[in-house]
Amino acid sequence: MDTESTYSGYSYYSGRSRSSHRHGERSRDHHKSRSKDSRSEKSVTINMPPAEPLLGDSAVRGEPVQDDNWGETTTAVTGTSEHSLSQEDIVRITKDLEDSVGLDCRRYLTLTLTVILGLLVFLTPLAFLVLPHLLWPEKLQGCGTACEGLFISVAFKLLILLLAIWALFFRPPRAGLPRVFVFRALLAVLVLLLVVSYWLFYGVRILDSQDENYQGIVQYAVSLVDALLFIHYLAIVLLELRQLQLCFSVCVTRSTDGETRHYNLGQLSIQRAALAILEHYYCDFPVHNPALLSASKSRAAKHLAGLKVYNVDGPGNNAAAGLAHSQSRAMIAAAARRRDSSHNELYYEEAEHERRVRKRKARLVVAVEEAFTHIKHMQEEEQKKAPGDVMDPREAAQAIFPSMARALQKYLRTTKQQHCHSMESIQQHLAFCITNSMTPKAFLESYLTPGPTLRYSRDHWLARQWTLISEASVTSGLKDGTVFLLKCVDFSLVVTSKKIPYIQLSEEYIDPKSHKFVLRLQSETSV
């Protein structure tokens, strides 16, 4: 029995060594062929400038966090990184540039059409007043006092209309929507139909007959301006006032870390609701940090990695196959028991991480307080110097930054925020705090607490384009149970809408005399 077990064990390891030897030969052959293919494939290598982040991006790639002895005499880390781009990447970049050019052309086309329609609206009443004087001036009747008063009315109404249109429509665009804004398009069509109708009536009844009643022509122009003012009032109701009444509560969840926020919205279309949610996202959601997710993924991969099972003698040997099957079942059971204790590893790992964070936070707080104390002493000394020898806040920040750089580096690495802050941004923030006489706690708040997306660099965090994914048409209004996605490169926002319920309030009258009482005191008191 012992001999058989010894032989089986020997065959298991020898078979494993043979299989690993064959696997090594195949990997070497595959590596040679892949190296040949890589030499024949066209590629472009781009040398990037020195990296901006203070600590590089090693933690983002999943490299281990360095110990406390790192960076004894170092204040910043810079380097040169190389990225290889294939032909597919170049084609994709070219396609993205073409899409961005298409979006710009569409935006400028919309602006051009709006300007043309606006000029048509403002020039039409003036043309109604000027054309009779140019075509048949000798036939026109004299314009009395009432007619001249209408001139003043037209002038002020056109000025009010100009200011109102400028305030409502000529605002910088907040975003590029995938579809046309329905209400705005309907208003544009309505204005166009109104102006065309007035021109047709003017051409048939006034130009053809060469009407001599100039006061009637002026009143006709005044009626057009009045109609345009009423359409502008309708635009205010549809575009601004209609959405003020809150009707829906939307739940926004980030797909990667489950960060959730709730907002109340009015009667909006899906695309305009998506725009409102993105505006809230950049101000309310903490910045998306993919480095925090890599640790949990590596931990899950480590715990889910099972034991490898090898078939030594191949599928032909039934006895060996049965033995291997029984051994694999035993190993799987052992792996399952080992996974059952993985929560202890997770608990101690998180406890150790929290301990390191508290430790490095304490070191950072002490280093920053000492640096600000040194600044205070420097300011007291500079008050005694001549005005030309005073150090500006930028120079003061560069002078004290090395004293806190090591502690700040270690804390940012531990909390995986090193890619969010560059050395230049930290020095600018330090100079800003020195200029405005802010405390060390105010300086550290930007690094101890993750802030919203807009706090950080625009190049890193503002997505160039979002993709709206919805089963319903994006121009349709929000409904109860509407679900759509806002997809970006690294994550997506899942949005679910719920209708705010109808609230019934009732009144209960309480008689003021029902809760009155009388306090009676005894006349005799104890001595």
Q: Dihedral sign, CA of 448, 454, 459, 462?
A: positive
pTM of the predicted protein model: 0.68
What's the confidence (pLDDT) of residue 21? 45
pLDDT in tens, 450-472: 888 888 877 655 556 789 999 99
What's the confidence (pLDDT) of residue 311? 52
CB 426 within 8 A of CB 401: yes
Neighbours of 442 (CB within 10 A): 14
Contacts with 346 (C-beta within 8 Å, 6 or more apart), sequence order: 299
Q: Dihedral sign, CA of 441, 447, 448, 454?
A: positive
β-pairing verdict for 483-487 and 467-470: antiparallel
- What is the rounded distance in angstroms from the CA atom of residue 453 to the CA atom of residue 463? 10
Residue 526: pLDDT band with limits 50, 70, 90:
low
CB 492 within 8 A of CB 486: yes
Residue 523: pLDDT band with limits 50, 70, 90:
low
Q: Give the pLDDT mean for 54-83.
A: 40
22 Cα distance to chain centroid: 50
Residue 57: pLDDT band with limits 50, 70, 90:
very low
Q: Per-domain residue ranges for the chain?
A: 90-243, 246-289+462-499
User: In the chain, pLDDT over 70 holds for what percent of residues?
Assistant: 67
Contacts with 102 (C-beta within 8 Å, 6 or more apart), sequence order: none
CB 205 within 8 A of CB 216: no
- The residue among 502, 525, 28 whose CA lies nearest residue 247 is 502
Phi and psi of 144, rounded to 5°? -85, -160
Q: Dihedral sign, CA of 388, 390, 393, 395?
A: positive
Residue 468: its H or E element: strand 467-470
Q: Give the pLDDT mean for 281-295.
A: 82
More confident site: 517 or 404: 404
Q: Which two tokens stand for residue 162?
A: 């100009």
By residue count, the chain amounts to 527
Bridge partners, residue 458, by sequence: none
Bridge partners, residue 286, by sequence: 452
More confident site: 106 or 160: 160
CB 456 within 8 A of CB 420: yes
Does residue 320 register a pLDDT over 60? no
pLDDT in tens, 71-101: 444 343 333 333 444 544 544 545 454 445 4
What angle (nearest 5°) sits at the alpha carbon of residue 121, between those of residues 153 and 181?
Answer: 125
261: region left, alpha or beta (phi > 0 left; psi from -120 to 50 alpha) = beta
Residue 260: pLDDT band with limits 50, 70, 90:
very high
Mean pLDDT of the chain: 75
3-class DSSP assignment, residue 474: coil
Contacts with 407 (C-beta within 8 Å, 6 or more apart), sequence order: 360, 363, 364, 366, 367, 368
3-class DSSP assignment, residue 439: coil
What's the confidence (pLDDT) of residue 466? 87
- How many Cα atoms within 13 Å fall on the side-chain side of residue 470? 27
- What is the rounded distance in angstroms from the CA atom of residue 30 to the CA atom of residue 90? 27
Q: Which two tokens stand for residue 181?
A: 């804004």
Q: Which two tokens stand for residue 415?
A: 């909390």
More confident site: 124 or 94: 124
What's the confidence (pLDDT) of residue 38? 40
- The residue among 503, 468, 461 whose CA lies nearest residue 487 is 468
Task: Name the residue with tokens 């940012």.
Answer: 412
- What is the rounded distance in angstroms from the CA atom of residue 173 to the CA atom of residue 54? 35
Phi and psi of 232, rounded to 5°? -65, -40
More confident site: 434 or 138: 434
Task: Name the residue with tokens 């809760």.
Answer: 515
Q: Which two tokens stand for residue 474?
A: 């994006």
CB 62 within 8 A of CB 298: yes
Bridge partners, residue 334, by sequence: none
Residue 317 one-letter amino acid? N
- As a whole number of Å, the CA-based R_g of the chain is 38
More confident site: 41 or 156: 156
